[in-house]
Amino acid sequence: MTSLHADEAFLGHYQLSHDPFAPRVPGFKFFPAQRKPVLGQLHHLARYSQLLLVVTGPQGSGKTLLRQALVASTNKQSVQSVVVSARGAGDAAGVLRQVAQALSVAQAEIGAILAQIVQLALTGQEVYLLVDDAEQLDESALEALLALAAGAPEGRPHVFLFGESSLIAALDQLNTEEERFHVIELQPYTEEETREYLAQRLEGAGQGIELFSADQISDIHESSDGWPGNINQVARDAMIEAMIASRSAVKRPSMGFNMPKKHVLAISAVVVVAVAAAWLMPGRSKAPTTGAPANEQAQLPLGQTPTPNANGSPSVEFAGSSQPMPLPLVGQSQPVMRGPLAEAAGGISEGDDGVPVEGSSAVPPTVTTTAPPAGAVAGPAPTPAARPTPAPTQVATAKPAPAAKPVEKPVEKPVEKPVAAKPAPAAKPAEKPVTVAKAAGGSWYAGQAPGNYVVQILGTSSEATAQSFVKEQGGEYRYFKKVLNGKPLYVITYGNFSSRDAAVSAIKSLPAKVQAGKPWPRTVASVQQELATTR
């Protein structure tokens, strides 16, 4: 299932013209709450202040969108905007090189750049220098930008830095004697602003806020802490989980009648192998003296289920669905897709919960046998010569093998069969244990400080998927169970951090395939509240 097909299923289910929570959507309108006053303040300070301007906020707070709005709202005839990225070029040489290239300056030096800015000022043009990811600037780059912001008497650029809160500490360490920069900290949305933001996004895609209930909006606001980037992620996950639940309820009753032919053949082959294994197991009860030979009984027609023996023969159970499955992760392409979304669009060999169908080629079946009941008297074990072993190719192809030449059994002295007590019921076969690094439940989360943070990796409706992911990653990965729209949802988290900044920093060190799912920080208190609601 490709991301394109899964995205089409998502849009078709809700009748959306586009993904309303993608980073870039057609016809997007700037959401004014908490951001329009900041935009006006930046324009005012650029006109009347000579300080370097700093805009800070955590990841997903809307810094880049605010920078884009600042550029879009300037007069293009009188302002030349130069956008610089500190990602991968955070030293003075890298920053000055980008500025010089944008202004067509041959030498990437402060003096040459200021001389060009003065020439532009004489023609009535100002220069806005905007730096994204400014928290990655080193000390030399910050010094160079402060020098450019100071400028010359004839002209100077207006320098704007957009970065996380660690940028403020880096500027404070420069020990400037005079005030040389001004800081504006972005604020999160209130719950009412979150509702209005969701409504604007959905209306742009052809739907309305009625897709979310009041409780869902409250949960989205609490889980995202009011930051727009996190609101987009949490809202989209909630819509995907609701879609999976509704599609699964429709698809599940017809699963048994629309199974592909290759799955039926695979299950039939498994039945043949299981019956042969049970028949040849040492310690079984003595086979009846009449009837077809053992090798003929093992070669049942395809699709025929053997009838359990009443004299203590081993019973056979299949536990193929208990095997761990590889967790589907996503790539870097946009829009960001989730594994549960691709599953909801319909898979060939996956069930509605994301677990491979029992007997499919994706998961090898496991044969579990039950020992004879305690107290039962087993017959004499057959001699090796009396136990024909079918060739591996015959079992794999599920075709009848040529009849083996009968072997003459030795004459045995009749033994009077003792009268045994009524055998106890056969013990239920133990299911294959699944070793999980961190088990589900609220015990660990309940013992943590509510003010701490964890990183939410993803949510899935299949506990087997969550167990497989946690087992594969190990370390500080855990998961807990919540209820979303009346259905269980298993949420995987990582780590335990004393602050949001520490959690954001930890995200950058996660494996690339985990970062591709756009993990985000959340408070332990929000997890504890969800656990309390689930109980």
- Provide the residue-wise pLDDT of the chain in tens; the chain has 535 residues: 334 444 778 888 898 989 999 877 877 777 888 888 999 999 999 888 888 999 999 998 999 889 999 999 999 889 999 999 888 778 999 999 999 999 999 999 999 999 999 999 888 899 999 999 999 999 999 999 999 998 888 889 999 999 998 998 888 888 666 788 899 999 999 999 999 999 999 998 898 999 999 999 999 999 999 999 999 999 999 998 888 888 776 655 544 455 566 666 777 777 777 777 777 766 554 444 444 443 333 343 444 444 444 444 444 343 333 333 343 333 333 344 444 444 444 433 333 333 343 444 444 443 333 344 444 444 444 444 444 444 443 433 344 444 444 444 444 444 444 444 444 444 444 433 333 334 455 688 889 999 999 999 988 888 988 898 898 888 889 999 988 777 888 899 999 999 999 999 999 889 888 887 778 899 998 888 888 877 6
Angstrom CA distances, 441 to 437, 468, 482, 532, 533, stand at 13, 16, 9, 11, 13
Instruction: Say what the pLDDT of residue 186 is.
Output: 94
Torsions phi, psi of 347, nearest 5? -120, 160
Q: What is d(CA 316, CA 474) in angstroms, rounded to the nearest whole number?
A: 33
Residues near 37 by beta carbon (within 8 Å), at least 6 away in sequence: none
Cβ atoms of 156 and 146 within 8 Å: the answer is no
Domains assigned to the chain? 36-185 (3.40.50.300), 261-373+388-397 (no CATH), 443-534 (3.30.70.1070)
Instruction: Say what the pLDDT of residue 177 is.
Output: 65
Q: Show the DSSP H helices in 205-288 as ranges.
A: 214-224, 228-251, 261-280
- The residue among 432, 425, 440, 426 whose CA lies nearest residue 481 is 440
Peptide bond into 335 cis (omega under 30): yes
Instruction: Say what the pLDDT of residue 506 is.
Output: 92
Cβ atoms of 97 and 117 within 8 Å: the answer is no
* H or E element that contains 161: strand 158-163
Residue appearing with tokens 């719950």: 191
Cβ atoms of 33 and 193 within 8 Å: the answer is yes
